[in-house]
Chain A
Amino acid sequence: MPARTAARILDGEARGALQRARSYLPEQLIDAVEKSGLRGRGGAGYPLADKLRAVRRNADGRQPYVVANGYDADPGSPLARTLLARNAATALRGIAIAAHAVDAKEAFVYLHPGATEARAAVERAIADHQDELGIAIEVALGPGGFMGGEESALLAVLESRRAMARQRPPYPASQGLNLRPTLVSSIETLAWLPLVVEEQVRASTKLVSVTGAVSHPGVYEVALGTSLGDIVSEAGGTTAKLKGLHVGGPTGGILNATRSDTRFDFDDLRVAGTHMGSAQVRAIPVGTCIVNEAAKLFAYLARESCAICVPCRVGTKRVQGILEGMYSGLGRDSDLPWLDELGDHMERFSLCGFGITAPSILRTTMREFPDDYRIHIQDMRCPEGSCTPVRSRRYETMAQP
Chain B
Amino acid sequence: MSLLERYTQPSESQIPTVAHVGEIPSGQPTCTIWIDGKEVTAVVGESILRAAQRAGFEVPTLCDDEKLAPAAACRMCLVEIEGYHRPMPSCHLPVQPGMVITQASDSLFKLRRQNLEYILSDHNAYCMPPCQVGCPTHIDIPGYLELMAKGQHVEAARLVKEVLPFPYMLGLVCPKPCQEVCRRGLVEEEIAICQCHGYTGEMVMEMDQAPTPFPQLPATGKRVAVVGAGPAGLTCAYYAALKGHAVTVFDMMEKQGGICRYGIPEYRLPKVKLDKELNSVWQLRDTEFKGGMTLGRDFSIDDLFTQGYDAVFLGIGCWRSNDLPIPGIDLPGVIEAINYLRMNAEGNPVPVGKGQKVVVVGGGFTTFDCARTSRRLGAEVTVVYRRSRREMGAHYSEVDDAEHEGIRLEFFASPVKIVEKNGRVGGIEFQRMALGEPDASGRRRPVPVEGSNFTIECDTVIPAIGQLPDLDFFEKEPSVRKTKRETIVTNGALMTDRPGVFAGGDVQMGARTVIECVAQGKLAAKAIDRYLAGDDMARVAEEIAQEEAVPELIDIVPYKPEEPQVRMPMLPFPDRVQSFQVIENGYDKAAAEKEAAQPLPPSGTCRLPRLRVRLQPRLHPSGPQQVHQLHPVRPNLPGRHRCELLRAHGRRIRRDRDDAMERLAQVHRLRLVRGVRGDVPDGRADDARARSADVRAGRDSVHLLRRLRRGLPARCTRRDLELRALDVRPLRPHRSRERGARRRAVVEAIGRDPARRTQLSAPAGDPTTGSAPLGRMTV
Which A residues are closer than 8 A to B by beta carbons? 167, 169-170, 174-175, 179, 308-311, 313-315, 317-318, 327-330, 341-342, 345, 348-351, 356, 379-382, 385-392, 396-401
| A residues less than 8 Å from B4 (CB atoms) | 170, 175, 179
Q: Is the CB of B5 within 8 A of A310?
A: no
Question: Is B622 among interface residues, defined by CB-CB distance under 8 A?
Answer: yes
Once bound together, how far apart are the Cα atoms of A389 and B771, in whole Å? Answer: 13
Q: Is the CB of A167 within 8 A of B72?
A: yes
Instruction: Select which of A308, A341, A392, A397 is within 8 A of B71 by beta carbon.
Output: A308
Chain B residue nearest to A396 (CB atoms) is B622
Once bound together, how far apart are the Cα atoms of A314 and B114, in whole Å? Answer: 11
Instruction: Decide: A398 near B758, CB < 8 A? Known: A170-B2, A311-B75, A329-B776.
Output: no
Q: Is the CB of B776 within 8 A of A389?
A: yes
Q: Is the CB of A400 within 8 A of B618?
A: yes
Q: Is the CB of B622 within 8 A of A329?
A: no
* 10 additional contacts (CB under 8 A) given A179-B8, A328-B777, A398-B117: A179-B5, A329-B772, A329-B774, A329-B776, A345-B115, A349-B78, A351-B73, A386-B754, A397-B121, A398-B626
Q: Is the CB of B774 within 8 A of A389?
A: yes
Q: Is the CB of A314 within 8 A of B774?
A: no
Question: Is B160 among interface residues, defined by CB-CB distance under 8 A?
Answer: no
Question: Is B779 among interface residues, defined by CB-CB distance under 8 A?
Answer: yes
Q: Is the CB of B115 within 8 A of A380?
A: no
Q: Is the CB of A399 within 8 A of B776?
A: no
Question: Is B158 among interface residues, defined by CB-CB distance under 8 A?
Answer: no
Instruction: Select which of A174, A317, A399 is within 8 A of B617 by beta carbon.
Output: A399
Q: Is the CB of A398 within 8 A of B621?
A: yes
Q: Report A354 CB to chain B, min CB distance, Å.
A: 14
Instruction: Decide: A381 near B5, CB < 8 A? Known: A167-B92, A389-B776, A399-B118.
Output: no
Q: Report B697 CB to chain A, min CB distance, Å.
A: 28
Instruction: Select which of A174, A314, A356, A380 is within 8 A of B772 by beta carbon.
Output: A380
Q: Is the CB of A308 within 8 A of B73?
A: yes
Once bound together, how far apart are the Cα atoms of A306 and B119, in whole Å? Answer: 16
What total of chain B residues lie within 8 Å of the partner, measured CB to CB?
A: 49
| A residues less than 8 Å from B618 (CB atoms) | 399-401
Instruction: Select which of A170, A329, A349, A391 is within 8 A of B87 by beta carbon.
Output: A349
Most B CB within 10 A of own CB, among A381, A390, A399:
A399
Q: Is the CB of B625 within 8 A of A397?
A: yes
Q: Is the CB of A399 within 8 A of B774?
A: no
Q: Is the CB of B117 within 8 A of A351?
A: no
Q: Is the CB of B758 within 8 A of A381?
A: yes
Once bound together, how far apart are the Cα atoms of A11 and B545, in whole Å? Answer: 74
Once bound together, how far apart are the Cα atoms of A163 and B592, in whole Å? Answer: 43
Once bound together, how far apart are the Cα atoms of A7 and B664, in whole Å? Answer: 63
Chain B residue nearest to A378 (CB atoms) is B767
Q: List 16 A-B contacts (CB under 8 A).
A: A169-B93, A175-B2, A175-B4, A310-B74, A310-B75, A311-B115, A329-B772, A341-B114, A348-B87, A381-B762, A381-B772, A385-B773, A386-B754, A392-B778, A398-B625, A399-B619
Q: Report A178 CB to chain B, min CB distance, Å.
A: 10
Question: Is B775 among interface residues, defined by CB-CB distance under 8 A?
Answer: yes
Chain B residue nearest to A178 (CB atoms) is B8
Question: Is B120 among interface residues, defined by CB-CB distance under 8 A?
Answer: yes
From 750 to 779 in chain B, residues with beta carbon under 8 angstroms from any chain A beta carbon are 754-755, 757-759, 762, 767, 772-779
Q: Report B772 CB to chain A, min CB distance, Å.
A: 4
Q: Is the CB of A348 within 8 A of B111?
A: yes
Once bound together, how far apart are the Cα atoms of A318 and B115, in whole Å? Answer: 12
Q: Report A360 CB to chain B, min CB distance, Å.
A: 15
Question: Is B122 among interface residues, defined by CB-CB distance under 8 A?
Answer: yes
| B residues less than 8 Å from A385 (CB atoms) | 754-755, 757-759, 773
Once bound together, how far apart are the Cα atoms of A250 and B777, in whole Å? Answer: 28
Question: Is B620 among interface residues, defined by CB-CB distance under 8 A?
Answer: yes
Question: Is B263 among interface residues, defined by CB-CB distance under 8 A?
Answer: no
Once bound together, how far apart are the Cα atoms of A313 and B622, in whole Å? Answer: 21
Q: Report B107 CB to chain A, min CB distance, Å.
A: 8
Once bound together, how far apart are the Cα atoms of A382 and B773, in whole Å? Answer: 8
From 731 to 757 in chain B, residues with beta carbon under 8 angstroms from any chain A beta carbon are 754-755, 757
Once bound together, how far apart are the Cα atoms of A309 and B759, in whole Å? Answer: 44
Once bound together, how far apart are the Cα atoms of A329 and B771, in whole Å? Answer: 10
| A residues less than 8 Å from B773 (CB atoms) | 329, 380-382, 385
Once bound together, how far apart are the Cα atoms of A82 and B352, in whole Å? Answer: 99
| A residues less than 8 Å from B71 (CB atoms) | 167, 308
| A residues less than 8 Å from B130 (CB atoms) | none
| B residues less than 8 Å from A379 (CB atoms) | 767
Once bound together, how far apart are the Cα atoms of A174 and B94, in whole Å? Answer: 14
Question: Is B89 among interface residues, defined by CB-CB distance under 8 A?
Answer: yes
Once bound together, how far apart are the Cα atoms of A315 and B625, in whole Å? Answer: 18
| A residues less than 8 Å from B625 (CB atoms) | 397-398
| B residues less than 8 Å from A389 (CB atoms) | 774-777
Instruction: Select which of B621, B758, B777 is within 8 A of A391 by beta carbon.
Output: B777
Closest 10 CB pairs of A and B: A399-B117, A167-B72, A329-B774, A314-B118, A385-B758, A397-B121, A380-B772, A392-B777, A398-B619, A381-B773
Once bound together, how far apart are the Cα atoms of A13 and B121, in whole Å? Answer: 55
Once bound together, how far apart are the Cα atoms of A40 and B42, in whole Å? Answer: 37
| A residues less than 8 Å from B418 (CB atoms) | none
Once bound together, how far apart are the Cα atoms of A348 and B109, in whole Å? Answer: 13
Q: Mark B606-630, 1 if CB is under 8 A from A, else 0.
A: 0000000000011111100111000
Q: Is the CB of A398 within 8 A of B87?
A: no
Question: Is B67 among interface residues, defined by CB-CB distance under 8 A?
Answer: no
| B residues less than 8 Å from A309 (CB atoms) | 72-75
Q: Report B592 CB to chain A, min CB distance, Å.
A: 39
Q: Report A343 CB to chain B, min CB distance, Å.
A: 11
Once bound together, how far apart are the Cα atoms of A342 and B117, in whole Å? Answer: 11
Once bound together, how far apart are the Cα atoms of A310 and B71, in whole Å? Answer: 12
Q: Report B609 CB to chain A, min CB distance, Å.
A: 15
Q: Report B422 CB to chain A, min CB distance, Å.
A: 69
Once bound together, how far apart are the Cα atoms of A188 and B96, in whole Å? Answer: 36
Once bound together, how far apart are the Cα atoms of A400 and B121, in whole Å? Answer: 9
Question: Is B718 among interface residues, defined by CB-CB distance under 8 A?
Answer: no
Once bound together, how far apart are the Cα atoms of A399 and B758, in whole Å? Answer: 35
Instruction: Decide: A348 near B86, CB < 8 A? Known: A381-B773, A387-B774, A389-B776.
Output: yes
Most B CB within 10 A of own CB, among A310, A382, A387:
A310
| B residues less than 8 Å from A380 (CB atoms) | 767, 772-774
From 575 to 633 in chain B, residues with beta carbon under 8 angstroms from any chain A beta carbon are 617-622, 625-627
Q: Is the CB of A314 within 8 A of B75?
A: no
Q: Is the CB of A398 within 8 A of B121?
A: yes
Q: Mark B680-723, 1 if CB is under 8 A from A, else 0.
A: 00000000000000000000000000000000000000000000
Q: Mark B65-86, 1 if CB is under 8 A from A, else 0.
A: 0000011111100100000001
Once bound together, how far apart are the Cα atoms of A7 and B5, in whole Å? Answer: 42
Instruction: Decide: A392 near B779, CB < 8 A? Known: A345-B114, A348-B111, A380-B774.
Output: yes
| A residues less than 8 Å from B762 (CB atoms) | 381
Most B CB within 10 A of own CB, among A167, A330, A341:
A167
Most A CB within 10 A of own CB, among B621, B627, B757, B758:
B758
Most A CB within 10 A of own CB, among B87, B620, B774, B775:
B774
Once bound together, how far apart are the Cα atoms of A22 and B774, in whole Å? Answer: 66
| B residues less than 8 Å from A391 (CB atoms) | 777
Q: Mark B92-123, 1 if CB is under 8 A from A, else 0.
A: 11000000000000000001001101111110
Once bound together, how far apart are the Cα atoms of A169 and B90, in whole Å? Answer: 12
Instruction: Select which of A317, A351, A382, A392 is within 8 A of B72 by beta carbon.
Output: A351
| A residues less than 8 Å from B767 (CB atoms) | 379-381
Instruction: Select which of A174, A314, A348, A386 is within 8 A of B122 by beta carbon.
Output: A314
Q: Report A271 CB to chain B, min CB distance, Å.
A: 17
Instruction: Decide: A398 near B620, CB < 8 A? Known: A170-B2, A309-B75, A348-B86.
Output: yes
| A residues less than 8 Å from B779 (CB atoms) | 392
Once bound together, how far apart are the Cα atoms of A185 and B758, in whole Å? Answer: 49
Chain B residue nearest to A398 (CB atoms) is B619
| A residues less than 8 Å from B775 (CB atoms) | 329, 389
| A residues less than 8 Å from B627 (CB atoms) | 398
Once bound together, how far apart are the Cα atoms of A170 and B5, in whole Å? Answer: 10
